[in-house]
């Protein structure tokens, strides 16, 4: 149990069976009445945010999350097989557990898996990945000075906007948080 007076940004708490991360908080001491803590909480599973007030010194259960480093091995039908880097135990993940980041998954990539009571509640990809371009229009001489962009399909099937000078077979560094081109590898 943790007191509402000890709240910090990023702390995870359990409320009514759901896990919330504190996005922001403010201790309020009005002129009349008791002090309280106003918080903005993000549901770790769904991503939705709520606002909630806690009485000063109110105690809430702290959610113990386990973050494990795992390696993505391969896709088996509709599921993705990952292996724990320490115990070598394999688990299956679904599209919904991975989310939109599935388009950046590459075999043998290390992932951060967030677990609560041995249930997967989140997947963190590296901030950037190196992917090979498999399809794009050829670059034309002189296009490098214009600063425009064109579409390119990378080896995972994702489409990315890249500068005109990028050609098929080039290896690119892609930012997985924004889905944008960073540089050539």
| Boundary-marking domain end, from 124, 139, 172 | 124
Task: Tell whether 6 and 48 lie within a shared domain.
Answer: yes
For 12, the domain range is 2-60
Q: What tokens does 107 get?
A: 């075999």
What is the total count of domains within the chain? 3
Distance between start and end Cα atoms, the chain: 47
| Residue 94: CATH number of its domain | 2.40.50.140
pLDDT in tens, 58-94: 899 988 888 889 999 998 888 999 999 899 999 998 8
Residue, of 146 and 18, whose pLDDT is higher = 18
Task: Tell whether 49 and 99 lie within a shared domain.
Answer: no
pLDDT in tens, 29-44: 988 888 999 999 998 8
Res 140: pLDDT: 65
| Residue 56: CATH number of its domain | 2.30.30.30
Task: Tell whether 72 and 38 lie within a shared domain.
Answer: no
């Amino acid at each position: 149990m943790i007191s509402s007076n000890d709240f910090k940004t990023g702390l995870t708490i359990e409320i009514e069976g759901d896990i919330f991360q504190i996005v922001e908080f403010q201790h309020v001491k009005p002129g009349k009445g008791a002090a309280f803590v106003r918080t903005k909480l993000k549901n770790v599973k769904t991503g939705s945010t709520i606002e909630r007030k806690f009485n000063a010194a109110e105690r809430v259960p702290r959610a113990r999350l386990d973050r494990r480093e795992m390696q993505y091995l391969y896709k088996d039908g509709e599921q993705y097989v990952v292996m724990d880097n320490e115990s070598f135990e394999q688990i299956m993940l679904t599209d919904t557990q991975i989310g939109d980041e599935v388009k950046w998954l590459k075999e043998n990539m290390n992932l951060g898996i967030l677990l609560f009571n041995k249930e997967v509640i989140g997947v963190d990809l590296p901030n950037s990945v190196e992917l090979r371009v498999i399809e794009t229009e050829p670059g034309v001489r002189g296009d490098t000075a214009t600063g425009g962009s064109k579409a390119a399909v990378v080896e995972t099937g994702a489409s990315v906007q890249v500068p005109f000078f990028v050609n098929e077979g080039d290896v690119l560094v892609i930012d997985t948080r924004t889905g944008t081109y960073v540089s050539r590898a």
